[in-house]
Structure 1
């Protein structure tokens, strides 16, 4: 087993334990079971793929047992897909680890029963547990790069999965190509000779799925298998899982914080909060009419189509999860619930069950019948002094360009070949504006951001100007004002924050370096900055390792704003965050933009987030700009065929959009040898002929600053895409 848990409480060790350690521990802690049939016998065929009854799990932290799961009961029927959702720390991955009997050393099952195919998991000795893991159950982890051994070829790793199920090495290697074809990998013989780092993220995830399917398991556990993947790759992986599930008849336990993915993939869903299952039912029932305020809150955090930072604040869930083992009396969610009253704080709600359109629905809420009426936080933006006639907030913006990039390119030498990561891209940015950068991995988004920041020098002939003044290509040659003007917020705040220093020192150091402030002036500015990013005072003396992901990102944002920047590059700042934390960070970024007139270059693969926050969108593909224009125009169309495919790949809670995805064939071409003519023609579903292969298309004007780089006329694109939407 490889990988690591993703939602354990602070202080709980995470990471991979050896199989020998787990087998030894479990053998010592459980008595030998009575003989039972082989997995897959008639007895298990009649049972649920997974049945969890009254599961309670504790972790030993600082000499005290802290409860992280409490009386959780759920079942996954044979052939069914069951989704498990909730914020980080709610216990989703702990459910998976307990199911596999793979808890860390300080974890133990305090009570309850787990059965896979009718067999009691905790009644198995070490040998029978190994047989179960090899034959009846498999797991796919969030990060395929960490689940694969970088020193072994794909062939060796996939063959090991067959060997674990009892095959000889020769037989395992012989069966590997067919297994790779099953997960839609073309030319499996070539891929078998590759090492993981030579493959794309989507290809790595297919390899991990192939390994999980080697034993034809009755139950497949997926723990955030698409987090961090591009929209097109995510869609391909989800399609693959759905097809394999239909072919093999296996059951799936799908763990994710992406509610749209769960809505697309799962028949039933369970909602975990602080280790308790607070709602359960058919996915369509739970997502259409949720009966627990927590579920309502999660759904309202999503940046739905049609919502904009200029009109609507995202709803958020106030407060934080209780610490493990610190469950208050009454309802566990009462402290964060806008429906809670004294009854909720006094009486623990039982599981209320009602008949819903698609089956029984359960919710642990005294007021489940009116949970859907949960009062909203203040979501409409109002500011009398800046409101326009249509009620939209007029942010501090001007038509004057603050940043201009003209014919910016970057060529790297890799393995003896010249790779043009960014190819003659021209962009501009106005004060108070957000420019969203979208495209698949390898499209050049991050490289372009580094060029703007001066972290990587561009090729000769590239022009980058701030207020009409050329910027030196390297940040080390820029003056203090230029450095302060352009700052960045990274995807992973851990990579930008020193774990050894308290939060107050981290922000204060940024103020000294970027703001040139000292003494009382620095202290006053520090307090103002902490208030601006909504960081509670109690965390100022904490180390970053003691903070949640959302709080770490607030510290990183405070650092970026220490010098009053004019432009902030946001490189996937919310991709690893729960929807509730993501909503709070997006609101914060929008608030800071309104208050300070800062401009953003916002990079993300989540197109719902990009649409909500961006004023304009730029679409990159293999280092080239294919489309740029106002956000509404780019999303509503007409759009470039590549943009059309990206947008169609984004999962949504709206059932009406299912089945309309445009499937792109193959992977993006290498930037070392891009195709002639239109760089997208090798994958384009709307290719019109030889002209696409021979001539690089010019930009055509679609109106209102919207430009599309395609040989197909704008009017024809609009007609074609309207027909596609109507099907």
Structure 2
């Protein structure tokens, strides 16, 4: 009797090690990594920047940079050793068996070619005639839930939203029906609703195509919602592995526990407690030659950990952990409460608002092609408070920030005031005092900092321009700012390329505080950072706010960050304010149906996504917005013709919680009750 052959794993790594040659020396970046993916399985790979996640993806496809090489072990795709393939076989594997979706779809698409040409090219490479390739391209775009695919095929990448671009890239990846799909941070930078749609799409297509997926991300909520199993990388070592639900519920390695504790949890606020952080920084590749690689940052480490490298051993439930004290992980101490001196930073009694916006509107272009980016937005912000600004792409968040900073002029009749004084529409017409007291922290410190300047010059120039200090006074102020953002004099001579992502963002924060600002615009200040670095930056912003009474305008699509840092939350949709109020009231409800949909789309490490409210249809065009309620074309709570013809007023309750909806408050949604943390 013949036994049925067992199919090999779609992907198998056997003790894979990878080194990069730097200045004549081999620097190890992966060390003995072993993992496997079965058919149709989704495997998540998490870890801080520099842990080796992307190197795994490159090694699997044999596309390491010229100075990189696999120094040990084997990477097998469908049972074939990738390193042993000749050039023709390697080309066939890349063309048919493995596909990759990158973080930034804008860079993955050719800006000079139409969408149809780019998708059809995949089918042409696989042997289809041009006409058939175009038909198959249209069919594939339809399968990734792109409406009117024929029209989309005629467009160029810049004419599509970020979510649409990512759907096109996924369509191109799946066009060749690969057995292995690698997703490298595919949802970073996307709004919560678009991110949820992309994850739903990937999960649906995984079942349709039967592909195995290697999902690389620092978004632990996305990992929990999509993956079957997860592996945790640290300094090139696999330190924990197991089913995602049980591993996230009860981690058995201090590093995994540290990553999970860094996330802002429901019920945790900036005035009650700082976020947990992982102390120290990841080690330089190859710098730790004895003991556990995580020992220098571990709260459980002792002499055994510093001497003996722990093996990767089973801990039950199909899980593995590389820790001498896996049974003690739940004893790791949490961060303490926030010192009393730093509590209650907001709400100065009888203080005038630091910011007032009255009827702020902004229109781009002229009729009939005018885009109403902002429509009659009125807000105010008190000293020491944070206003969180949320909404999908195209809602007007960035336009509001640009108008506030004087980079774009609002429409006539708009009023802006800073500390009670009128704020001129253009920055060149503002007083030096207004310029220095209104600053910004950008999303990407790499783009915001001049790479050729040292930290001393980056901060010192801001001190001179904004504070008017020179010589010894300037140096003293630079030192004070550096200490305020928890950096030391050792970083003064460093350039941005020599700093970690978190350090670069701290330098950007220090520069923003050089003129003792009254209001700082924080534009996605943590979206590009690992969760451990994100927690440290959020703690820093909360401490600086409490110490200096500065107000923040926080723009973010991460509702966990908004929940932790904000005192007030404003919700924008197509430039219109749909809801504004105290953070707890907006988050707990009653809330606008749009707010309810945004909250339901936020990923959770619990992995529960069944309660998500799915918005149908695309965001309407700002050139021709809907009549009546702007949200009625997508609203799951639409009640009738009144929504189509009459715009509801923005009605506030006694606590200042205003909602623009025809539904009475008692019928609006509320957040489910949470169990005590």
User: What is the TM-score with the length of structure 1 in the denominator?
Assistant: 0.90
1:455 to 407, 416, 429: 407
Gaps of 5+ in 1: 1-41, 387-391
Q: Is the deviation greater in 537-546 or in 142-151?
A: 537-546
Displacement of 1:702 in angstroms is 3.8
Question: Is 1:315 aligned to 2:276, yes or no?
Answer: yes
Task: Find the counterpart in structure 1 of residue 621 from structure 2.
Answer: 670
The 8 Å contact of residues 30 and 236 in structure 2, kept in 1 or not, is answered as yes
Question: Is 1:253 aligned to 2:214, yes or no?
Answer: yes
Task: Find the counterpart in structure 2 of residue 112 from structure 1.
Answer: 73
Matched ranges for 1:388-403 at <5 A: 393-395=344-346, 397-399=348-350, 400-403=352-355
Gaps of 5+ in 2: none
The 8 Å contact of residues 422 and 447 in structure 1, kept in 2 or not, is answered as yes
Question: Is 1:278 aligned to 2:229, yes or no?
Answer: no
Question: Is 1:84 aligned to 2:45, yes or no?
Answer: yes
Displacement of 1:536 in angstroms is 2.8
The 8 Å contact of residues 381 and 393 in structure 1, kept in 2 or not, is answered as no
Alignment length (residue pairs): 670
The 8 Å contact of residues 396 and 594 in structure 1, kept in 2 or not, is answered as no
1:332 to 293, 300, 310: 293
Task: Find the counterpart in structure 1 of residue 333 from structure 2.
Answer: 375
1:443 to 371, 376, 395: 395
The 8 Å contact of residues 451 and 473 in structure 1, kept in 2 or not, is answered as yes
Question: Is 1:717 aligned to 2:668, yes or no?
Answer: yes
Task: Find the counterpart in structure 2 of residue 659 from structure 1.
Answer: 610
Change (3 A) 1:535 1:722: closer
Displacement of 1:167 in angstroms is 2.3
Q: Is the deviation greater in 628-637 or in 692-701?
A: 692-701
Cα distance in 2 for partners of 1:495, 1:398 equals 39
Question: Is 1:235 aligned to 2:196, yes or no?
Answer: yes
Displacement of 1:103 in angstroms is 0.7
Matched ranges for 1:465-614 at <5 A: 465-614=417-566
Change (3 A) 1:394 1:434: closer
1:698 to 642, 649, 658: 649
Task: Find the counterpart in structure 2 of residue 128 from structure 1.
Answer: 89
Cα distance in 1 for partners of 2:423, 2:183 equals 47
Q: Is the deviation greater in 492-501 or in 139-148?
A: 492-501
Displacement of 1:654 in angstroms is 2.2
The 8 Å contact of residues 314 and 379 in structure 1, kept in 2 or not, is answered as no
Displacement of 1:183 in angstroms is 0.3
Displacement of 1:395 in angstroms is 4.5
Cα distance in 2 for partners of 1:706, 1:304 equals 23
Q: Considering only aligned residues, what root-mean-square deviation do their CA atoms show, in Å?
A: 1.6
The residue matched to 2:54 in structure 1 has which SS? helix
Cα distance in 1 for partners of 2:306, 2:623 equals 62
Task: Find the counterpart in structure 2 of residue 686 from structure 1.
Answer: 637
Task: Find the counterpart in structure 2 of residue 22 from structure 1.
Answer: none
Cα distance in 2 for partners of 1:379, 1:171 equals 64
Displacement of 1:671 in angstroms is 1.1
Displacement of 1:415 in angstroms is 10
The 8 Å contact of residues 231 and 242 in structure 2, kept in 1 or not, is answered as yes
Displacement of 1:168 in angstroms is 2.6
Displacement of 1:504 in angstroms is 0.6
The 8 Å contact of residues 397 and 597 in structure 1, kept in 2 or not, is answered as no
Cα distance in 2 for partners of 1:46, 1:414 equals 62
Cα distance in 1 for partners of 2:401, 2:176 equals 44
The 8 Å contact of residues 596 and 669 in structure 2, kept in 1 or not, is answered as no
Task: Find the counterpart in structure 1 of residue 601 from structure 2.
Answer: 649
Question: Is 1:149 aligned to 2:106, yes or no?
Answer: no
Displacement of 1:658 in angstroms is 2.4
Task: Find the counterpart in structure 2 of residue 26 from structure 1.
Answer: none
Q: Is the deviation greater in 517-526 or in 310-319?
A: 517-526
Change (3 A) 1:530 1:593: same
Q: Residues 99-130 of structure 1: CA distance to partner in whole angstroms, max 9, x if unpaired? A: 01111111100111111111111111111111
Question: Is 1:364 aligned to 2:319, yes or no?
Answer: no
Displacement of 1:718 in angstroms is 4.4
Cα distance in 2 for partners of 1:705, 1:443 equals 22
Q: Residues 344-400 of structure 1: CA distance to partner in whole angstroms, max 9, x if unpaired? A: 1111111121212xxx21111111110121123x331122x57xxxxx645573442
Task: Find the counterpart in structure 1 of residue 181 from structure 2.
Answer: 220
Question: Is 1:75 aligned to 2:36, yes or no?
Answer: yes
Q: Is the deviation greater in 206-215 or in 165-174?
A: 165-174
1:633 to 569, 585, 589: 585
Change (3 A) 1:246 1:515: same
The residue matched to 1:417 in structure 2 has which SS? coil
Cα distance in 2 for partners of 1:539, 1:652 equals 36
Structure 1's consecutive aligned runs of 4 or more residues displaced over 6 angstroms after TM superposition are none
Q: Residues 609-665 of structure 1: CA distance to partner in whole angstroms, max 9, x if unpaired? A: 00100000000001110000011110111111100000000010224x420101111
2:24 to 45, 63, 85: 63
The 8 Å contact of residues 235 and 283 in structure 2, kept in 1 or not, is answered as yes
